[in-house]
Chains A and B, each alone.
Chain A
């Protein structure tokens, strides 16, 4: 995860709150929240190496496949449930977002925006599935099975009656920064949402 994503979403996490991080990777985010926002909480992860990295950091990591659901967590038992850059690998992202909002009072979701102009041009000009620095896999070996655009995601939120508390966009391309504020679906590389129900 980029430093800038982290800084943006941290401001939405209440001080001394309880957090759950779905697909917590090597525990960087949880450790950073613990240090900067004095949170406590847990991360869910399935990758053995990432799990070991979490343990080495002293992060509470639970080996769990998020695709199996969160039924073992009680309603509203966390202040914030986070999921950074994991939504696109899930079998049913819509159901997981439902679960996140059941378990957490608020949620933070970040994902790569497939509507980004560079992705669109790549597909249009080359006629092949986009492979970028951020999305570096080939179509046949990618773990990313459910891409969406900013518009797609907001449509889903609309259907489900999910409130968008905040939206921020991030892009690594300097000239796109201003543009992405006004036209996020075209210029955002990463979208960061703060949600509640």
Chain B
């Protein structure tokens, strides 16, 4: 029963599939003849169509950001703490659009989709993508929905990169850009972690050089391992210590007992890895990590982020988290410095949290307060008719 959901939840949500019949030319030079995007929306689009907010997901995210898919669903969407009536992204004010990116594996065209040229799944042959391809595919979605200008484009991590690209590529179509726990480009250490994850997948015997779908199998071990590595980097050492410590799930160190010892943290990671391996596509994981690695905000702007941001016209909210070492606060400060040098409006906050990179997904009083206060202003502008032309 929908009324059994929490009061501040968007409740039961339905997915919608948008078909795009026009070919889309990708950054790699190849063209997708047609594609589809799986989308969820929350809240109502106003008459002027000025209250739309785009949510850009991170590496392993999807379109299901808020609400529930069925009355018996116990797990809400991945950003349900931040999207809903009365929440920072308040669906009483905003029409929220959330989609699975092109190349994803949750219903949008990606490696698991059928390649019209071969009538078989794309698999490893799916074209490599860049963040700008996501932006151009999302721009067509905006056209389809009749949205000329987003009130805000919002994203964390890889989603933050997407939001920044939006601001630069379509300055007229973005009023506010919210960049959370992100960076203008990855560091060597960050790329290194992604490469270990890719190697874990590609060295799984079940990977079959990317043709595992055809062989009717899944490189579960590789995917699980990739996720385990990633997961460690998304948490902080402090949090792992607090949450798991050296607690044992089974076995003991007592003399004479031979039951094997298993730490809580081992069991947790194994569970995370296995669950991920069951739902995520290995080729999508390879594709998404490469999109992350290749992203460089300023590459086409003489490697000068100030020049890049000079193209933007929107206002920015940038947020980072103190214990995030995968997308450290310093990376966010670099974004802010470039925005200031480019004379753009920007608010920057560094939120205290011991949750690591994952903090952007988790409840945090100060983070919520900042986010809510900023978004309230965005909503107030709409009411006062201060939207830019």
Contact = CB atoms under 8 A, between A and B. Distances in A.
Interface of A: 18, 40, 42, 48, 51-52, 54-56, 58, 60-64, 72-74, 77
B333 A55 contact: no
Interface in B341-378: 341, 343, 345-350, 366, 369-370, 373-374, 376-377
Interface centre among B337, B348, B374 (most CB of A within 10 A): B348
B164 interface: no
A52 B373 contact: yes
Nearest to A51: B349
Given A61-B347, A62-B346, A56 B377 contact: yes
Nearest to B345: A60
B370 A18 contact: no
B228 to A, nearest CB: 33
A51 B370 contact: yes
B383 interface: no
Contacts of B223: none
A42 B341 CA distance: 11
B58 interface: no
Contacts of A40: 343
Given A60-B345, A60-B347, A42 B369 contact: no
Nearest to B318: A62
28 contacts: A18-B343, A40-B343, A42-B340, A48-B366, A51-B370, A52-B370, A55-B347, A55-B370, A55-B373, A55-B374, A56-B373, A56-B376, A56-B377, A60-B345, A60-B346, A60-B347, A61-B347, A61-B348, A62-B340, A62-B346, A62-B348, A63-B349, A64-B348, A72-B333, A72-B337, A73-B337, A73-B340, A77-B341
Given A55-B370, A55-B374, A58-B377, A63 B337 contact: no
- Find the residue from B333, B347, B348, B366 having the highest chain A CB count within 10 A: B347
A56 B369 CA distance: 10
A73 B337 CA distance: 7
Contacts of B349: 51, 61, 63
Contacts of A48: 366
B379 to A, nearest CB: 13
B346 A42 contact: yes
B211 to A, nearest CB: 49
A52 B161 CA distance: 25
Contact of A62 (B347, B366, B369, B370): B347
A52 B366 CA distance: 9
B177 interface: no
Contacts of B333: 72
A52 B365 CA distance: 12
Contacts of A63: 348-350
Contacts of A54: 347
A170 to B, nearest CB: 31
